[in-house]
Amino acid sequence: MDRRTLASIVGGALVLAVALSSCAGGSSEPAAGGGSTSTAPQTSATPALVDDTRNAVDVEFTQNMVVHHEGAILMANMASRMASSSQVKALGERISAAQEPEIVTMKSWLVEWGEQSAAEVDMDGMDMGGMDMGGMDMGGMSQDDAMADLKSVDGTAFDRRFLELMIEHHRGALAMTATELAAGTNPQARALAQVISDAQTVEITEMDQLLQTLPIIDERSEEARP
């Protein structure tokens, strides 16, 4: 199952549940005008869609993968604006498009489980149930450092640095999904972990290949050489 299929299944189920909830009544508001009231029934409908089976690894995987995805999207959005290569721009757009609905899905799980988001949790105090916190950085570089690094370069140098950092970022995600698949119990979290693992393994190969096509930048002269 790929990311688009998972998003389609989850999204379709939510739409159906919201529609059934609306038909069942309980609200005096008219159905027309939908957008402003769509979030209210979603919470009440979600319990039927979210498996309550979970352990600490499932919760911490979900909390931290939300943060991890949000970091990837920040970098990907920068690439879609600043990359000099059309292929790197397209990759940035694809990463954002894939990970944004996954964030929505994972946040909905946390709400239904009655768990805090990662923003509400002291990250330093989390042991991740054995999950490698190295997944939250890029080869020792924090998210803030990575963003600053990307802002300091442009052209081909930007493209290369983005690919290098995103490869490290994806490898961190693979470490996180491996822990979830090994020790998590929630079937939906495990299924998403597998989707993320499969997709990001393919993207790492793609980024490695893109790196091979880009000129090497001599940092001393800032000139591209074959």
> For residues 205 and 140, which has the higher predicted lDDT (pLDDT)?
205
Query: 98-127, pLDDT tens digit by residue?
Result: 999 999 999 999 999 999 887 676 544 444
CATH number of the domain bearing residue 84: 1.20.1260.10
In a domain, 102, yes or no: yes
Query: In this structure, is the dihedral angle defined by the CA atoms of residues 122, 124, 130 and 131, taken in order, positive or negative?
Result: positive
Residue 23 lies in a domain: no
Say if CB 185 and CB 55 are below 8 A apart.
yes
pLDDT at 215: 84
Whole-number average pLDDT of the chain: 78
Query: What ranges in the chain are assigned the alpha helix state H?
Result: 3-24, 39-45, 56-82, 86-113, 143-151, 155-183, 187-213
| In-domain check, residue 8 | no
Higher pLDDT, 131 or 187: 187
Q: What is the pLDDT of residue 20?
A: 29
- Domain that includes residue 84, residue range: 51-119+128-217
In this structure, what token pair is assigned to residue 199?
Answer: 């997709």
Q: Give Cβ neighbours of residue 190 (< 8 Å, ≥ 6 apart).
A: 58, 180, 181, 184
Residue 12: inside a domain: no
**The pLDDT of residue 62 is above 60:** yes
Instruction: Give the pLDDT score at 218.
Output: 56
What confidence category does residue 1 fall into, taking pLDDT thresholds of 50, 70 and 90? low
* 146 vs 35, residue with greater confidence: 146
Q: How many residues does the chain have?
A: 226
Nearest-angstrom CA–CA distance, 214 and 112:
45
Is 20 part of a structural domain of the chain?
no
Rounded CA separation 89/129 (Å):
36
Does residue 170 surpass a pLDDT of 60? yes
Q: Indicate whether 139 pLDDT > 80.
A: no
Residue where the block lists tokens 């963003």: 147
Residue tagged 């930048």 (tokens): 217
Is the residue at 94 inside a domain? yes
Residue 28's pLDDT is what? 37
Total structural domains in the chain? 1
How far apart CA 101 and CA 105 sit, in angstroms, is 6
Q: What pLDDT score was predicted for residue 171? A: 97
State the burial class of residue 153 (Cβ atoms within 10 Å of its Cβ: 0-12, 13-18, 19+): middle
Query: Is 34 inside a domain boundary?
Result: no
Condensed to tens digits (0 to 9), the pLDDT of residues 35-60 reads 333 333 333 334 447 899 999 999 99
- In terms of pLDDT, which residue wins out, 135 or 220? 135
What is the reported pLDDT for 50?
85
> Does residue 161 belong to any structural domain of this protein?
yes
Taking the alpha carbons at both ends of the chain, their separation in whole angstroms is: 39
Report the alpha-carbon distance of residue 158 to residue 164 in Å, rounded: 10
The whole-angstrom separation of Cα 225 and Cα 217 is: 6
Dist. CA 82–CA 131, nearest whole Å: 33
**pLDDT(191) > 80:** yes
Could you read off the pLDDT of 73-94 as tens digits, one per residue? 999 999 999 999 999 999 999 9
Q: Is the pTM of this model over 0.75?
A: no
